[in-house]
Structure 1
């Protein structure tokens, strides 16, 4: 024992449930929370300061990934990003420590935007040049120059080429080097790097071999970089080597855009099949795909051998079996993944780099100014045609002639149609570096777009670094409330960023660390997808950076993580109990509920679940669990219904539903869009009483749903009014009587008005979004009259069918018992019904005016992996339902036809509800 030394220099380590070594730095944690895989603890020596180790341990537990896993990644890009964000976080926390209590509260919780970069910041990045040194080697010696000596240098200093130039200049002046040494340094400078624009060779790669290929037949590789290139066939079973393995593309090295990605697909060539024209063609079977960047994160053209571990899951409806929208990260599960060995050739004996931004500006600025002075000369005819093109929706395709016209009149677009920037970007010939350079310069004088318009520029179609930086610059004008509205999409488009260090990442971190509510949802949006291999490292790095820059927030989030872990354990206990007692439903319910209550009363569970900030809304404190009112719901995943006593609401209770086993991200997206619709309607002075309740995915098929108080389902309301389940759906008085029981006099009139407005809002919203599976158990009504929909597992027109028969035949739910409530029991169509119809039409036209925004938001979610949102074809439903491309009169005529159809065919809805009620009654 005496040989151990000071107790502070040691700590315990275990192997956790994820088979990962976990260091138990936080000594306040209980062993039941640690949950080691085996009951063994190992005593180890601390490698650094206790405070640092404690912080690292807390962050690792919080994000669900030990930081030693990130330390073990042998990737210089990861190391550079972590080093940069660590320095920025340390500087931020030092400033926080110097703040007064009031200043800290304003910095953490203020809803107002803070002022922009100060004089010590360049492009939003703090100037920490005093921490850097440049080392230059001269034969047998080297000299280190602190950058603090540089004085007032030109901005060119911050480019790679400029860095070398200025460093050599310092050496020459400071050490009075001889003329020969000056010539030597100049020669060295000119040959360290070559600009990619000076290399005219055709771009090519060498295909070496592939291993673990799941193909018994011959295999081919197809590359997409400009026009696809196809390799020769290979033979073999698991190991494949290709003949004539050099693939040359129809693009020169000098014309490669900075964000060029090489998209690769491996497919088997099966036996030939005969087509209708009598000719035989080979049958192709996709095996694997992978993408990689052509330039590295420093802008240097890749050279040498590289092993790419491929992905085997193919998205639906891939063109030519390539997946350009997919990740550029390789498959981390290397043991069973197909490994493709390729080689990037060396065109020159030294590095080839993409030119720095200032070189692009200097080369193109004179031409830009000349062409700008000659804008507005396209002629009236061309301007009319240009206007028509610019007013099209984002899904409309541009033909080559239209693209040429837009590019020719690009300065006219800047003057008259600045919001048309996305269409201009689609018209750029990115395979010509001259055009690409002109576009980058043009962005510097392009007017700022509104944040809503700028969102489209973060789509996959616009990968250029400077375009995305421009878009982020526009987003900086967003208020915190508006940023929260679109945070779900902004996290998803991080998938499109090929490099960890990018403008969008820094923008999100900056705003999250400035406002804790944004930080809260950024944390959960990132953490909920850490299980996805394609983003695991990227999202872990951002989470680590956020935690290091928001240390006071760690304990709050940690308590939420622990509470969710407890709820998952309770849910697993219930599922096990219901499976064990499946033969006796009554006994099952009794025993399982008793087990649940016993579990929740245990101090370890009760204390962890109490006094936490709600993950659904961090402004709400969930005080103490009301165990007696907690229960589990009788559905497949046995969701937990947890009730809290809330001291801040005068004894009222709050409810949350914990679900484990279902992906809630589609519900999150739908509710976000409903919230946006509500906002747009209110901006137009139309309040339709929408109830966009809280919903948050917190992990792999896990999440929380807010319980809406004083509400019941249409099914329960109907069933309580009838002794026969089959007849309940046809009782048109049930809903009106239910409202009358809970409201009287003026309160009933108010409830009817609330019902009318909310029914109009949800009729329009569910029609536009194509929400399906609308049975009587997922439409609810509050006692105050508000109608609202829940459970959005089917959207964008994916309506349910059974035995090949379409169960849902109406564009939206509008039954006669709804009309019965709206008209307060009166027959015939009254003035109240006319007002209801007017609300619907007005709401529809407002959404139409914002159709492009809805298309953009869904397009930004394409890589999220939602089952009913996988391709642009899915978004086409929105274009059709909003009648984009038609006039308001034509669109209104279409909507009125749908309205009449919903009313005329409402009997089919009642039949569907009857079937649902009978099935539900049989289950009980």
Structure 2
């Protein structure tokens, strides 16, 4: 904790050694041009004081002091977020010195509450800076108040001003909401845009000319600081220029509340929060919130909504299959029967939270108080509450408590989404961060992947500070693992340097020559040392003992991915292959493979093992990452081409796959290989259909020598199929060609029993996934924060709802899938034509 006197700052150094503290203090002193004093009579670091230009300034801006201290120097106790104790001046706490700890009874005014302030909320829009736009246009600022995705009141717009580098408004923006009704997690969102002057008439009519709006930048800011204090005074907000993909939306409430760190060139807005009182105003404490709750309201509400007679109507609303928005009278019924929902339908908490009026503090008090007695939720329902639509901090704490029962394996299964959800958090100190760090420090596997999920996005300015602090907290809490991770980082740096070298060399030399140069480079001592004896980033249980230089090569695609082979001593010297990619975003592949792995788990829980191959894939940085090589496998394209004389006829050679399997599995082993093919083909037919996997050609479908079929390269999903000249190239629900059927039927055209068994596998697999449809919807919804091009808004998830037929009965859904199955089989000739075009194109490039 930090306490300030009128002319000096005194630091609590309980967790700092005498050597560590002066470093931090001098760094701050240089930055602030302050004077550092050290008492000569004692050696304790508590005796350093700092004078900052005769006035008090908060150390490290808007972030909690103890977080930054922990990120630099962790306490000897090993705690990640220690509770700071009070520091006293001259043996007592200064009476008038403001406290910079989290708000408590010592620093909060008890005689005034935010909820007693009925005046309308407003801010002053002062001016802008570094604005770049066409001088023939006018500048406008749009502002809106949001709680999650919900707009709290009508948005307001500024007056139009002439375009210049530093436009001036000095305009008061009034919002149609009282200060007392501002929710704790309210955020103020701004959008700066330009309009064409001649569009004024169009703007005055009912049909606005949207084409006249030219977005320039956006920025968000919280109304309350992390101490629960309502912000006051002038604030400069550096804006972001990249807008979300949502068409027609200028405001970006889901965006970060951090200002753009690129202050040198980013456009900025200067606003001023009003000082509504002479002293700071705080959001009510939990005790004050609880005081507003009227327990007698339960019986009044139940009677007023019809008592037991309303229960069937409530059940119908809560169990409704469709996801349409409720009517107002239905919302009223749900709200009035919130106690019955808690007691009988606790899993429906999300629906209750959605219809809660967060812009009415009386309703907020009721909801927060009710939440304290709400039963713990199953994990499925708790995951739903991690969505951006539920930003309230009490909801967040309740959600994390419900997730604490996750086993390590379950947590690992959802870790990718949990890291993305961190982007929704408004403050560095949050329950989700502490939960993830706690579990990561207790389990090395979780810690390993938490590190790389965070590290892979450190190039993103909006999350660099948050992710950097979490990374540092984890590494300093696990010093031994930090050394292991550093070794992996060095190996990745060498791979990137090697890839850059290959990209240049391959333009000047033939592939054999470039490959030879690659081997010469890898045999250097620095490369051999970096690429030997390290944990595999894809799987930390695998030790990459020694790089096999002579087996390494690079692939022919544009980015020249590296194919690197290692010896694995623990597996009897068996080779381990890794593909290093530099220039491709692997996050969508990671998500797809995570879903396939989850499907495999759900099927196995029901006794259905479809022999899936969810190989490893890990994004490690900005468009860089690793992919596991599935050894002893080949692509459909290569198998067909090797068994055919011409590329043009290869795609129609139905015997090629079966003959290849016969060559790899002689004698009695063939029957088992065909069974492996049958099971895995069923699994991937269902998985690719449900996920809407696109770009399915013969080079990204592979078969292992044991018979297992699997798909690779997931650059398109959720129904985003490839088109050429405006024509959809993929017009089948999933890939089920006659040569696949030929293998399933063991080469016999009349073996319908085997094919019907395959169909039964597909139908059973589909119905199992449908039972877990909400889980897939929640996990994809949480990934919206990742910013994937094909998963940026709720509309993108509609494909999943349609493919799983979530609005239909089980009988209707099964009929729906059977129609898709028959369509895939009937239209498989279109797939063959597509594969033919791919093979010919590939043959021409070689």
Q: With the length of structure 2 as denominator, give the TM-score of the two structures.
A: 0.88
Match 2:157 to one of 230, 238, 244: 230
**Counterpart position of 1:294:** 223
Q: Specify the SS of the correspondent of 2:494.
A: helix
In the TM superposition, what are the counterparts of 1:145-544 in structure 2 within 5 Å? 160-163=103-106, 190=110, 194-215=112-133, 216=135, 217-225=137-145, 226-242=153-169, 245-272=171-198, 281-282=208-209, 283-318=212-247, 320-364=249-293, 366-367=295-296, 378-379=306-307, 382-392=310-320, 395-544=323-472
C-alpha spacing 1:715/1:378, structure 2 compared with 1 (3 Å) = farther
CA-to-aligned-CA distance 1:269-322 (integer Å, 9 cap, x gap): 214458799988552221111111000011000000001111111111245411
Partner SS for 2:163: coil
Match of 2:65 in 1: 79
- Residues of 2 paired with 1:526 and 1:375: CA distance? 51
Aligned to 1:91: 77
8 A contact 1:272–1:281 mirrored in 2? no
CA gap of 1:675–1:247, structure 2 versus 1, over 3 A, is same
Q: How far apart are residue 392 of structure 1 and its match?
A: 4.2
Give yes or no for contact 1:90–1:549 (8 Å, CA) kept in 2. no
Structure 2 residue matching 1:321: 3-state secondary structure: coil
Whether the 8 Å contact between 1:368 and 1:441 is mirrored in structure 2 is no
Query: Any conservation in 1 of the 2:412–2:446 contact (CA below 8 Å)?
Result: yes
In the alignment, the residues of structure 2 paired with residue 505 and residue 418 of structure 1 have an alpha-carbon distance, to the nearest angstrom, of: 26
Measured in 2, the distance between the counterparts of 1:906 and 1:735 equals 16
Report the CA distance shift for 1:565/1:88 in structure 2 as closer, same or farther (over 3 A).
closer
Query: What secondary structure sits across from 1:209 in the alignment?
Result: strand
Cα offset, 1:48, TM superposition: 4.0
Q: CA RMSD in A?
A: 2.8
Separation in 1, partners of 2:208, 2:348: 43
Q: Could you say if the C-alpha distance between residues 190 and 836 of structure 1 is closer, same or farther in structure 2, counting changes exceeding 3 Å?
A: closer
Residues 189, 253 of structure 2: 8 Å contact kept: yes
CA distance in structure 2 between the aligned counterparts of 1:443 and 1:676, rounded to whole angstroms: 31
Q: Report if aligned partners of 2:117, 2:179 keep a CA contact under 8 Å in 1.
A: yes
Give the distance between the partners of 1:392 and 1:125, measured in 2 at CA. Answer: 43
Which segment is superposed worse, 675-684 or 363-372? 363-372
| CA distance in 2 between partners of 1:378 and 1:87 (Å) | 60
- Give CA-to-partner distance per residue, 1:490-524, whole Å, 9 cap, x none: 00000000000000000000000111110000000
8 A Cα contact 2:292 2:366, kept in partner: no
Structure 1 stretches of 5 or more lacking a match?
Answer: 1-45, 57-71, 94-123, 148-157, 166-188, 582-586
8 Å Cα contact 2:691-2:719 kept in structure 1: yes
Cα distance in 2 for partners of 1:443, 1:652 equals 55
CA gap 1:778/1:458 in 2 versus in 1, 3 angstroms:
same
Whole-angstrom CA distance in 2 between matches of 1:755 and 1:371: 63
Per the TM alignment, residue 785 of structure 1 is displaced from its structure 2 partner at its CA by 0.9
- Are residues 1:877 and 2:799 paired? yes
8 Å CA contact 2:676, 2:706 repeated in 1 = yes
Residue 621 of structure 1 aligns to a residue in which SS?
A: strand
Q: Residues 568 and 208 of structure 1: is their aligned pair in 2 closer, same or farther, counting only changes over 3 Å?
A: same
CA change 1:747–1:497 in 2 (3 A) is same
Give distance in 1, aligned partners of 2:500 and 2:521.
12
* Preserved contact between residue 394 and residue 852 of structure 1 (Cα < 8 Å): no
**Aligned counterparts of 1:417 and 1:398: Cα–Cα separation in 2:** 17
C-alpha separation between the residues in 1 aligned to 2:710 and 2:306?
Answer: 52
Aligned to 1:132: 86
Whether the 8 Å contact between 2:693 and 2:714 is mirrored in structure 1 is: yes
The structure with the largest helix share of the pair is 1
Taking structure 1 as reference, are residues 693 and 375 closer, same or farther at Cα in structure 2, changes over 3 Å only?
Answer: farther
2:478 aligned with 1:550: yes
Is the 1:286–1:321 Cα contact (8 Å) retained in structure 2?
Answer: yes
Distance 2:644 2:179 in 1: 76
Task: Report what 1:691 is aligned to.
Answer: 613
Cα shift at 1:389: 2.5
Judged with a 3 Å threshold, the aligned counterparts in structure 2 of structure 1 residues 762 and 396 are, in CA distance, closer, same or farther, namely farther
Inter-partner Cα distance in structure 2 for 1:52 and 1:570: 38
| Deviation (angstroms), 1:382 | 3.0
Taking a change above 3 Å as real, the CA distance of residues 143 and 75 of structure 1, as seen in their structure-2 partners, is closer
Gaps of at least 5 residues in structure 2 are 1-16, 28-57, 146-152
Residue among 633, 637, 650 paired with 1:715: 637
How big is each residue's C-alpha offset from its partner over 1:131-184, in whole Å with a ceiling of 9 and x where there is no partner? 43466999xx94799x9xxxxxxxxxx98343459xxxxxxxxxxxxxxxxxxx
Contact kept, 8 Å, 1:204 with 1:248, in 2: the verdict is yes
- The 5-angstrom pairing of residues 447-846 of structure 1 reads 447-579=375-507, 581=508, 587-828=509-750, 830-846=752-768
Distance 1:552 1:376, change over 3 A: farther
Q: State the secondary structure of the residue aligned to 1:351.
A: coil
Equivalent residue, structure 1, for 2:42: none
The whole-number CA distance in structure 1 between the counterparts of 2:741 and 2:280 is: 73
Query: Displacement of 1:806 after TM fit?
Result: 1.5
Task: Work out the CA distance in 2 between the residues paired with 1:901 and 1:844.
Answer: 16
- 1:487 & 1:206 partners in 2: Cα distance? 42
Deviation digits for residues 626-674 of structure 1, max 9, x if unmatched?
1110000111110000001111111211101100000000000000011
1:414 and 1:447 in contact (8 A); partners too: yes
- Taking the aligned partners of 1:278 and 1:255, their CA distance within structure 2 comes to 33
C-alpha distance in 1 between matches for 2:725 and 2:544: 46
Classify the secondary structure of the residue corresponding to 1:862. helix
SS of equivalent residue, structure 1 residue 798:
coil
Once the two structures are TM-superposed, the CA of residue 83 in structure 1 deviates from its matched residue by: 2.6
CA 1:79 to 1:319, structure 2 compared with 1: closer, same or farther past 3 Å? farther
Q: How far apart are the structure 1 equivalents of 2:635 and 2:123?
A: 61
* Contact 1:715/1:917 (8 A) holds in 2: yes
Distance 1:483 1:376 in 2: 43
Q: 1:396 offset after TM fit, Å?
A: 3.8
Contact 2:566 2:575 in 1 (8 A): yes
Q: Tell me, yes or no, if the aligned pair for 1:205 and 1:247 is still in contact at 8 Å.
A: yes
1:395–1:791 Cα change, 3 Å? farther
1:814-835 alpha-carbon deviations (Å, 9 max, x no partner): 0000000000011146111111
Q: Deviation string for 1:321-367 (max 9, x for gaps)?
A: 11111111111112221110100010101100011123222442644
Q: Give the number of aligned pairs.
A: 784
